[in-house]
């Protein structure tokens, strides 16, 4: 059994929280005391049934206003798979929260209200999905009960969406007509839409493939911690602890350590009390090298025959996440895996109007703005392009005055 992480994009009125509530409810993932608390609360649907949206709105302000402000994580499992849902707000003022929820997901559910079809926010949500490089997209046409379960309405919406998907280069898109409120096609295939020949949403989620990056040639492990017991019997023990971001390291593989460029060979791979032949993407291990090279936290061990980019000027997409606007004259910290160095945003190439996808020249970046910039770093980063290797192609910006995380960066090109 493995884990599928997905996130849901939609606005308050699209019934996003209701859809998640429905998934939890119909898979028996709501426990009795939560159900009791739900029934005690005063929010009911018009027909007197429980308002499932309450299950995901965790903060007091959210319950008061009936909206989702922050990312809420929910967990459920079936016999086939475990699921982690990032429930994110859909309003434009919460774009940063959506980017946050999307950053760890390998599937996105985009909700469209069948009565309204593809609207401005559908474009915005889909753009974020393409920006964050999420592999699978499920478009749920919701509230089908409000349009008499009409096939014609459904078809006209997906025809429109296909044009958008093409424009955004979304490769793997699946369409499902649902009613989250009534439960049609969420867990059970609906009898109200016999014209729909596909599966229910849950069945699709259970079998879609999850990508582990171990097939990639780009073996990368940022060093987080050097294990040195310094005891008598382990006097010379020196192990490099980290999590393999991508690819596979095998015993005797030739590796390069960046930024020093030193090369060596993998002598031993340990996981607690086991000795391993290989370390794959996702695993947290300790690696020993044959040669005595100087390595510390912030360095990266990589496959010697597939080196990453190494520059101080990087073209990147930036999502600005702070209420204080970007200051191009200021130094920020850039955090790329275990490496932290100083940087400046040396140039703003354009800003994207995420409702229309138009690119505009810009000289400022405010909260929730997204666009293309040039980052200039104090030390060179050993990175891959985001599209090739999400885990090694992303970074955050930290404001050194407030210590807040103010920007999310996706690397698009090395600037020579």
Partner 1 sequence: MSTYNFDYLDELEAEAIHILREVAGQFEKPALLFSGGKDSITLVRLAEKAFRPGKFPFPLVHIDTGHNFEETIIYRDKMVERIGEKLIIGSVQESIDQGKVVEQTGKNASRNALQTVTLLDTIAKYGFDACIGGARRDEEKARAKERIFSVRDEFGQWDPKRQRPELWNIYNGKIHKGENIRVFPISNWTELDVWNYIRREKIELPSIYFSHERDCITRNGQLMAASPFLNMDDEDVVERKQVRFRTVGDMSCTAAVESDAFLIDDIIAEISASKISERGARMDDKVSEAAMEDRKKGGYF
Taking every pair of Cα atoms in the chain, the longest distance, rounded to a whole number of angstroms, is 77
- Is the Cβ–Cβ distance between 390 and 336 less than 8 Å? no
Stretch that binds partner 1, among 114-122, 137-145, 191-199, 396-404 (CB under 8 A): 396-404
CA 335 to chain CA centroid, Å, is 17
Nearer to partner 1, 124 or 390 (CB): 390
Q: Of 311-370, which residues contact partner 1 (CB under 8 A)?
A: 321, 333, 335-338
Give the helix ranges, DSSP H, for 27-111: 32-40, 60-65, 95-103
Which of 315, 307, 335 lies closest to 376 in space, CA to CA?
Answer: 315
Query: CA-CA distances (angstroms) from residue 80 to 2, 3, 199, 339?
Result: 8, 10, 15, 37
**The pair of three-digit structure tokens given for residue 67, joined into one six-digit string:** 């909206």
Q: Does 108 bind partner 1 (CB under 8 A)?
A: no
Q: Does 242 bind partner 1 (CB under 8 A)?
A: yes
Site string for partner 1, 49-78 (x = CB under 8 A): ------xxxxxxx-x-----xxxxxxx-x-
**The pair of three-digit structure tokens given for residue 266, joined into one six-digit string:** 């993998």
Q: Least CB distance from residue 347 to partner 1, whole Å?
A: 23
Q: Of 191-230, which residues contact partner 1 (CB under 8 A)?
A: 212, 214-215, 224-225, 227-229
Q: Does 390 bind partner 1 (CB under 8 A)?
A: yes
Nearer to partner 1, 15 or 407 (CB): 407
Q: Of 282-311, which residues contact partner 1 (CB under 8 A)?
A: 282-284, 297
Query: CA-CA distances (angstroms) from residue 218 to 243, 249, 305, 368?
Result: 14, 10, 9, 32
Identify the residue among 396, 412, 413, 415 touching partner 1 (CB under 8 A): 396
Q: Least CB distance from residue 179 to partner 1, whole Å?
A: 25
Nearer to partner 1, 336 or 372 (CB): 336
Q: Of 77-106, which residues contact partner 1 (CB under 8 A)?
A: 77, 82, 84, 96-97, 99-100, 103-104
- Is the Cβ–Cβ distance between 258 and 299 less than 8 Å? yes
DSSP letters, 336-361, are ETTEEEEEEEEEEEEEEETTTTEEE-
Stretch that binds partner 1, among 185-193, 253-261, 274-282, 369-377 (CB under 8 A): 274-282
Using CB under 8 A, count the residues that bind partner 1. 76
Q: What SS3 class is residue 234? A: coil
């Amino acid at each position: 059994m493995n884990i599928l992480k997905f996130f849901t994009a939609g606005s308050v009125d699209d019934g996003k929280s209701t859809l998640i509530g429905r998934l939890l409810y119909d898979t028996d993932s709501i426990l009795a005391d939560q159900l009791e608390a739900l029934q005690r609360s005063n929010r009911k649907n018009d027909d007197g049934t429980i308002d499932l949206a309450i299950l995901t709105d965790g903060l007091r302000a959210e319950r008061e206003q009936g909206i989702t402000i922050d990312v809420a994580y929910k967990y459920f499992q079936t016999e086939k798979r475990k699921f982690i849902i990032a429930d994110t707000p859909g309003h434009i003022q919460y774009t940063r929260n959506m980017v946050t929820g999307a950053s760890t997901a390998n599937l996105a559910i985009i909700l469209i209200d069948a009565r309204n079809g593809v609207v401005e926010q559908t474009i915005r949500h889909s753009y974020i999905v393409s920006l964050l490089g999420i592999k699978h997209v499920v478009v749920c046409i919701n509230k089908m009960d409000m349009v008499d379960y009409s096939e014609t309405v459904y078809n006209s919406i997906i025809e429109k969406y296909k044009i958008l998907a093409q424009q955004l280069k979304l490769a793997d898109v699946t369409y499902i007509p649902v009613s989250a409120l009534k439960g049609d096609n969420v867990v059970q295939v609906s009898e109200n839409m016999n014209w729909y020949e596909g599966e229910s949403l849950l069945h699709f989620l259970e079998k879609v493939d999850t990508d582990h990056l171990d097939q990639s040639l780009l073996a990368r492990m940022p060093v987080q911690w050097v294990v040195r017991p310094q005891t008598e019997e382990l006097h010379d023990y020196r192990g490099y602890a980290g999590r393999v971001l991508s690819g596979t390291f095998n015993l005797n593989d030739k590796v390069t350590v960046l930024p020093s460029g030193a090369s060596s060979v993998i002598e031993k791979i340990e996981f607690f009390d086991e000795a391993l032949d290989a370390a794959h993407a996702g695993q947290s291990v300790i690696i020993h090298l044959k040669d005595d090279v100087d390595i510390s936290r912030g360095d990266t061990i990589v496959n010697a025959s597939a080196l990453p980019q190494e520059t101080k000027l990087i073209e990147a997409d930036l999502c600005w996440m702070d209420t204080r606007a970007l200051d191009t004259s200021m130094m920020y910290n850039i955090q790329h895996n275990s490496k932290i160095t100083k940087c400046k945003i040396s140039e703003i190439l354009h800003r994207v109007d995420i409702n229309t996808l138009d690119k505009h020249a810009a000289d400022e970046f405010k909260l929730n703005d997204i666009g293309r910039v040039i980052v200039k770093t104090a030390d060179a980063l050993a990175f891959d392009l985001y599209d090739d290797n999400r885990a090694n192609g992303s970074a955050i910006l930290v404001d050194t005055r407030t210590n807040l995380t103010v920007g999310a960066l996706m690397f698009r090109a090395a600037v020579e």
